[in-house]
Amino acid sequence: MSRRRDADDDIAAIASASGAWVGRDVDGAGYVETLRSGSRLREKA
């Protein structure tokens, strides 16, 4: 039986994810672009 999510669950998830990119040298959009372009694989090689 699945439980229906409510606004409090959503707010808690947003709050816990807030600041996840603080202190990193790339933002979320930049990271996704490296995955898309395959540059992450080239960097490891």
Global pTM? 0.37
Distance from C-alpha of 30 to C-alpha of 23, rounded to nearest angstrom: 14
* Residue 42 covered by a domain: no
> What total of structural domains would you count in the chain?
1
In a domain, residue 45? The reply is no
Q: Report if residue 44 sits inside a domain.
A: no
Whether 27 is in a domain gets the answer yes
- Which range of residues forms the domain containing residue 25? 3-37
DSSP 1: -
CA atoms in the 13 A half-sphere facing the CB of 39: 7
Tens digit of pLDDT for each residue in 1-45?
456 778 989 988 888 887 777 777 777 788 888 788 775 566 655
The predicted structure's pLDDT at residue 30: 81
**Non-local CB neighbours of 26 within 8 Å, separated by 6+ positions:** 34
